[in-house]
Structure 1
Amino acid sequence: MRSVLTLILAAAAAIASPVGELAKRSQPKGIDVSSYQPNVNWAKVKSSGVSFAFIKATEGTTYKSSTFSSQYTGATKAGLIRGAYHFARPSSSSGAAQAKYFLAHGGGWSADGITLPGVLDIEYGPSGHTCYDKSHSAMVAWIKDFSNTYHAHTKRYPSTSRNSSITRSASFASTNPLWIARYASSIGALPAGWKYTTFWQYANHGSNPGDQNVFNGDSAGLKRLAKGS
């Protein structure tokens, strides 16, 4: 995933206090990858201490990552908890249409203890158009359309990314806990509505492929999140 402010569904019981520098060293570590990292050595990633991975599956309603299947299978065989993410294109089709496309091409969820709920990666629009030429209210509606459609099929809520800067809405905080991207030694202030983060993307490179992440909890909490308990 590129520089992102993303939300991901999590059970409140699985989440601890905001992650700091010390927690970044001790709590479950993860990566997120896409076709930009086509040849991940998942056994090596696992042996380095990584516990989870997010893998790009789709974009809009026309793009399917050519590496998703091999990456997802590789992460599974290595024993990682894994989940899929969808790169949003709000200007091309409805939120519901994109949620259904994501669900049909790897973005589903099951209570098997190794599958994380799907993530909606919603970044700035092309050429610096912050809201894809939509009003803030229209962006909120688009995200809700995606989120509610995903929930209707899985009973879990996905993410809504860059919510603070794109929609300035705190209305998702009660259903979609936070996955924040901030490349610094500490998280700093959180977007309106959230008192803690669930995942922190703290670097866009590191000793493992892709972006570097940490879960705000312990290994048991990560497993509960995947299981949906």
Structure 2
Amino acid sequence: MSTRRGRNRWAERTTVMAVVLGWLVSTQVQATAEARLPEGSADHYAGSQIAKHEGTGGSERSAPSGEGGVEGIDVSSHQGEIDWAAHWAEGKRFAYVKASEGTDYLNPHFEQQYDGSFQVGMIRGSYHFALPDRSDGATQAQYFVANGGGWSADGQTLPGVLDIEYNPYGSTCYGMSGTAMVDWILSFSDTYAELTGRWPVIYTSTRWWAQCTGNTGDFSATNPLWVARYSDSVGELPHAWTVHTIWQHTSTPLDQNLFNGSYDRLVALSTGVPALQ
């Protein structure tokens, strides 16, 4: 994609940027903790709209047998304070925590969820629920990074996630053309990379991507894919991706995920080495 020119320049300064930003984000999160908005209709968790539009695929299921990989979960304010030790005992080794939505919602349980998962030994990261019709991609990436979405090369922090899915408030594709949607995602991704030194993971579903981008936009060379599909197999992947990094395979009783690789590759993703080669 021609708009991606100049990306290689970020690779040379990834480590320095990540260390500095990690400190800045930590400071900002502490400073804004008391200003977080309360829970409410603005809080949509990863896959909430995918489940609504595509179905949940039936009852609760454990990690699909024979798939291998590393089990994890993702959470939002809907789970409140979490017993992380219990999830660790069940074999969960990574977690993604919702940090923000649009530019006016912050998860009031973020600190307990994000820090709690870290304290029991999980590798954790944070995600942003996108509202592309509210503000541009760069603005939402900046908001996310300033409020818990940063990354640091400590071996226990996963790159941040852009959660892009069906519009919870109206038009499925936020009233945007496929070209405009791809441009918005690219703006978010490039801004996140500029601020953190890492490309964000993209969370989406194959059906949404086909409908709202027209199966355009090739992010496969830079952005790891976290695909949502509530079934016994991961199925067809969104346009251009030939491999997935994380699969959200069920949303009941809470979102459960499977990392596509061994634990050492999960650690590699957290340190900046590509998870899948």
Global fold match (TM > 0.5): yes
Q: Secondary structure at the match of 1:137?
A: helix
1:4, distance to aligned residue in structure 2 (A)? 6.9
Task: Calculate the TM-score normalised by the size of structure 1.
Answer: 0.87
CA contact 1:150–1:157 (8 Å) conserved in 2? yes
More strand by share: 1
Paired with 2:166 and 2:173, the residues of 1 have a C-alpha distance of: 6
1:171, distance to aligned residue in structure 2 (A)? 1.2
State the match for 2:102 in structure 1: 60
Q: Provide the alpha-carbon RMSD of the alignment.
A: 1.7
- State the one-letter code of the partner of 1:110: S
Paired with 1:4 and 1:127, the residues of 2 have a C-alpha distance of: 10
State the match for 2:240 in structure 1: 193
Question: Which gives a bigger RCO, structure 1 or 2 (Cα 8 Å, sep 6+)?
Answer: 1
Q: Secondary structure at the match of 1:44?
A: helix
Q: 1:145 aligns with which of 187, 206, 209?
A: 187
- State the one-letter code of the partner of 2:70: P
1:2, distance to aligned residue in structure 2 (A)? 2.3
* Structure 2 CA distance for partners of 1:170 and 1:74, relative to 1, 3 Å: same
Higher Cα Rg, which structure = 2
State the match for 1:100 in structure 2: 142
Superposition pairs of residues 34-45 of structure 1, within 5 angstroms: 34-45=76-87
Q: Secondary structure at the match of 2:165?
A: coil
Q: 2:93 aligns with which of 51, 65, 71?
A: 51
1:216, distance to aligned residue in structure 2 (A)? 0.3
Paired with 1:61 and 1:228, the residues of 2 have a C-alpha distance of: 27
- State the one-letter code of the partner of 1:185: D
1:194, distance to aligned residue in structure 2 (A)? 1.2
Deviates more, 1:103-112 or 1:156-165: 156-165
Structure 1 unpaired stretches of 5+? 6-18
Establish whether residue 220 from structure 1 lines up as the match of residue 260 from structure 2: no
State the match for 2:32 in structure 1: none
Identity %: 49
More helix by share: 2
1:225, distance to aligned residue in structure 2 (A)? 0.4
Paired with 2:169 and 2:125, the residues of 1 have a C-alpha distance of: 29
- State the one-letter code of the partner of 2:232: S
Paired with 1:20 and 1:41, the residues of 2 have a C-alpha distance of: 24
1:39-64 Cα offsets, whole Å, 9 max, x none, are: 21001111110000000000011111
1:177, distance to aligned residue in structure 2 (A)? 2.2
